[in-house]
Chain A
Amino acid sequence: MTLPQTIKLIAITQHGGPDVLRPVNAPMPRPGAGQLLIKVAAAGVNRPDVIQREGRYPPPPGASPIPGLEIAGEVVELGAGASRYRLGDQVTALVTGGGYAEYCVADEPTALPFPAGYDAIRAAALPETFFTVWQNLFARGGFGRAKAS
Chain B
Amino acid sequence: MVGGDYIQRNLNCVAEDGRIHQIAFLQGGKASVDFTRLMVRRITYTGSTLRPRTLEVKAKLAEALEDKVWPLLASGAVAPVIDSTFPLEAAAEAHRRMEEGGHIGKIILTI
List residues of A whose CB falls within 8 A of some B CB. Answer: 8, 10, 18-21, 23, 40-45, 47-50, 53, 59-60, 63, 67-69, 73, 94, 96, 100-102, 107, 109-113, 115-118, 120-122, 124-126, 128-132, 134-142
Select A60's contact among B46, B51, B85, beta carbons within 8 Å: B51
Any chain A CB within 8 A of the CB of B5?
no
In angstroms, Cα B108 to Cα A63, docked, is 21
> Cβ of A94: which chain B residues have Cβ within 8 Å of it?
50, 58, 62
**A10 interface neighbour in B55, B69, B91, Cβ under 8 Å:** B91
What CA separation (Å) do A19 and B89 show in the bound complex?
A: 11
Interchain nearest-CB distance for A27 vs B (Å)? 17
User: What are 26 residue pairs bridging A and B, where the CB atoms are less than 8 Å apart in the complex?
Assistant: A10-B88, A18-B92, A18-B96, A42-B111, A43-B111, A48-B51, A50-B99, A60-B52, A68-B109, A94-B50, A100-B109, A107-B58, A109-B55, A110-B62, A111-B62, A112-B66, A112-B70, A113-B66, A115-B73, A115-B74, A117-B74, A129-B80, A134-B65, A135-B57, A137-B21, A142-B19
For residue B60, CB closer than 8 A to chain A, the reply is yes
Query: Taking the nearest CB of chain A, how far is it from the CB of B39, in angstroms?
Result: 20
B109 touches A45 (CB 8 A): yes
Is the CB–CB distance between B58 and A110 below 8 Å? yes
Given A43-B88, A50-B98, A136-B23, also A131-B58 (CB < 8 A): yes
| Contact status A42-B109, CB under 8 Å | yes
Q: How many residues of B contact A (CB 8 A)?
A: 48
Tell me if B43 is interfacial: C-beta within 8 Å of chain A: no
Chain A residue nearest to B73 in the complex (CB): A115
Q: What is the CA–CA distance of A118 and B72 in the complex, to the nearest angstrom? A: 12
User: Which of B58, B85, B95 is within 8 Å of A50, CB to CB?
Assistant: B95
State whether the Cβ of B106 lies closer than 8 Å to any Cβ in chain A. yes
A134–B58 contact, CB under 8 A?
no
B107 within 8 A of A: yes
Contacts of B105 in A (CB 8 A): 125
Pairwise interchain contact A131-B65, C-beta atoms closer than 8 A:
yes
